[in-house]
Amino acid sequence: MQRASALQLAAYGILGFPLAMAALPIYVHVPHFYSDTLGLSLASVGGLLLAARFLDAVQDPLLGWWSDRRRDRPGGRWVFVLAGAPLLALGMVGLFNPPDWPASKLGLWLIANLIIVYTAYSLVTVSYQAYGAEISDDVSERTRVTAWREGFALLGVFLAAALPEILKKEMGERAGFAQFAWVFVPIVLAATALAWWRSPPAVAKPAPVDPRVFAAMMVPFRNPKFRRLALVFVLNGIAASIPATLVLFFIEDVVKRSDLTAVFLIAYFAAGAAGLPGWVWLARRIGKRRAWLVGMGVSIAAFVWAFQLGAGSTGAYFAICVLSGLGLGADLALPPSILADVIDDDEARGLGRSEGAYFGLWNLATKMNLALAAGLALPLLGGFGYAPRSANGPEALFVLSAVYALLPCALKALAALALWRDK
């Protein structure tokens, strides 16, 4: 079997750049932007994020089924990618260009644009990731495909971490985020066109045996390996989502170096990108699951110390960002590659292949992880009296540090235990 060239994989992977460029502001900046800058309460923002995710819950599996149905027709899965990219651009512009409305109406604007963004993001990512799983049948090559995609995604995160901070300093917070959204538009459209034009061809796959929508959506749940992997993924995903939701509050009110926010975020994601080749190498030598276990251990060992930080702990927090960022590379490159291997069981049992159904559920799990992190962590902080840019007492800051650092480490340890038991 011929390996895809580096240029082909780069063309496929480049679409990960704008997708990550959109994801970081949605999950990290939106809670801070709408609560701190625009005046919505943390409980309201968290509740709206959770509500939007539940409204979004049913569409990912449906889009996965639809993508599988269209796979062998003209345009294939790329029809969904090409349709979703302009809609994603529109939603991002709306999300970060809110009107000057009172808080009661602003909540409606937020949830309407979140639904647009989530729907568009699903249209693109479900088919895009399913296509990536079809590029090769080789288990090691699959990790190479996901590493290229996630490497470009980390580059998108770099830009999403740095550019809003630069624009905010030059133009103010509202105008800075508005400009960021407009910069996003040509990037996502150009990357989509290049990925569609130059991605490596997919390997021909047997169609799903049962084309009925509900039956097709249930196929992954009948695969015991998927059920066990999904448990690990959910626990690990919530563990990663809680710090992503709270990082700006932690930097601002615990470390008290909001001027270095971009530096901390870039250090974290740069370490993740630098570590990707190492995780690909390690997975080839000891297996993907063992390599992922090592990555989880690295993340826990590095991140647990964040609980002890206080005002001015700049060097220590920078080191934690770098070390936990190295573990991030394993979380990005290995689980989607393991998922593609799990789908092989269906083909071996004569059930055909349903990459769209699997990645539809996978993306649903990702979104629910983030929704639960925002919907639970933000109201919890508000319940203990924490408020952004306020004179928070020791109890509120203690709870912020505990939820930011200790809770994710405990969840990741449970994920590691579940993965170890599934070896």
* pLDDT reported for residue 390: 75
Distance of CA 92 to the CA centre of its chain: 16
* Structure token digits, residue 352: 């055909």
What confidence tens digit (pLDDT) does each residue in 102-161 have? 877 888 999 999 999 989 999 999 999 999 999 998 888 999 999 999 999 999 988 987
Q: What is the pLDDT of residues 396-413, one digit of tens each?
A: 899 899 999 999 999 999
pLDDT (tens digit per residue) in 167-224: 988 998 889 999 999 999 999 999 999 999 999 998 877 777 677 777 777 889 889 9
Span 358-381, mean pLDDT? 82
Third-level CATH fold of 6-198+205-382+393-421: Growth Hormone; Chain: A; (1.20.1250)
With H, G, I as helix, E, B as strand and everything else as coil, classify residue 282.
Answer: helix
For the chain, give every domain's residue range: 6-198+205-382+393-421
pLDDT tens across 53-86, in order?
A: 777 767 888 899 999 988 888 889 999 999 999 9
| Interatomic CA distance for residues 239 and 191, integer angstroms | 30
Q: How many CB atoms lie within 10 A of CB 145?
A: 26
Side-chain half-sphere CA neighbours of 343 within 13 A: 28
pLDDT in tens, 20-61: 999 878 777 888 788 878 888 877 887 887 777 777 767 888
How many whole angstroms separate alpha carbon 27 and alpha carbon 380? Answer: 17
How far is it, in rounded angstroms, from Cα 231 to Cα 365? 10
DSSP labels for 52-85?
A: HHHHHTTHHHHHHHHHHHHTTSTTTTHHHHHHHH
DSSP structural state of residue 136: -
Q: Could you give the C-alpha distances from 29 to 228, 240, 394, in angstroms and in order?
A: 32, 16, 25
Contact 378/43 with Cβ under 8 angstroms? yes
Please answer whether residues 95 and 117 qualify as being in contact, where contact means their C-beta atoms are separated by less than 8 angstroms: yes
Supply the pLDDT for residue 57.
67
**Residue 46: what pLDDT?**
78
pLDDT cut 90: percent of the chain above it: 57
Q: What is the pTM of this model?
A: 0.84
